[in-house]
Amino acid sequence: MTGRGCRALVALILLLVLGGARDPILVPEISQHEIQVRQGFTGASLLLFGAILNPDGTRAARGYDIVVVLKGPVQSIVLREKQKVAGIWINADNTAFRSAPSYFAVASSRPINQIVDDKTAAIYELGLPYLQLSPIGAIDPQEQTRFAAGLVDLMKRQSLYAESGDAVKISDGVLYQARIELPSTVQTGTYTAETFAISNGKVVAAASNTIEVRKQGFERFVALAAQRSSLLYGLFAVFVSVAMGWVAGRLFALV
C-alpha cells in the first residue's frame, strides 16, 4: 500500500473508532492515479486494492463481498444498425445515447447475481446488464434494450467494456485486490473507480478514487493544438499531407 493509502487508513480508523460508527470501514487505493499516454502506448494494468475493517479497526468477523466498478468519461454515441438489402449492407435503424461511458469494467469477488438482487445491481450499476444508458429522444423500450445490448457487445469486442465475476481476491476477510486492464484505445480524461462492500445482499460501504489519463509529449501537443487552434491545426494537417505526397512522388520518380 502506498504512503497516501496508509495515512488515509489510519485517519479513517481513528475517526470511526472515536465517533462510534457502526458501518464497516472501506479504504480503497489504486496503483496509479495518473496514466500518461505517449507514442507507442500499449495500454495499462491497474491494481485496485484496499482493506475492509470493523468500526473498531479490528478484522471483520463476517465475510464481505467486494465489487469494483471502473468507469471512463461519458460520451454521446450514435449506434447504427446495418441490414442487407439486395446483397448490399446499408444503414437501417439508429439511435443515440446521451451519456454512455467510454470505458466500463466491473470486477467482483463472486458473480454479481450471487451477491445482490437485480434492483440493487441496477441502482449501483454493478455489471454490464445494469449499465444505465440514456437515449436521446423517444424510443420504444424494446428497441432501446436491443440497441443497448448491441452497444455493450460492440464495446466488449473492442475491450472497452468488461466484467469478471472472480477478479477480486480477498485475503483473511480484510485485504482485497483486483487487476483491471486498460487497452491502448482508451480515451483521455478522468476515470472513476468505485468500490463497494456488500453483505447479505446490501451495500454496507462505498468509496471512490479517480484516475487521470493524460496525453504527454507530441500527442499532447497535437491534442491541444486541435482544441485551441482548430483552423490552424487543419491547415497544418493539409500542408503536411500535401508535402508528404509530394515527397513520395519524388521518391518514386527517382526509382
What's the count of helices (H) and strands (E) in the chain, helices before strands? 5, 12
- pLDDT of amino acid 38: 84
Question: In the structure grid, which three cell numbers stand for residue 169, read together?
Answer: 481476491
Q: Is residue 251 predicted with pLDDT exceeding 80?
A: no
Query: pLDDT category, 143, cuts 50, 70, 90?
Result: confident
How much of the chain is helix, strand and coil, in % rounded to 5? 35, 40, 30
- pLDDT of amino acid 220: 47
pTM given for the model: 0.73
Instruction: Provide mean pLDDT across the span 23-36.
Output: 89
Range with the poorest average pLDDT among 8-22, 36-50, 106-120, 122-136: 8-22
Q: Is residue 115 predicted with pLDDT exceeding 70?
A: yes
Greater confidence (126 vs 146) lies with 126
Q: Is residue 245 predicted with pLDDT exceeding 70?
A: no
Element housing 46 (H / E): strand 44-53
Greater confidence (241 vs 166) lies with 166
Q: What is the pLDDT of residues 58-100, one digit of tens each?
A: 666 567 899 999 999 998 888 777 666 666 766 667 788 888 9
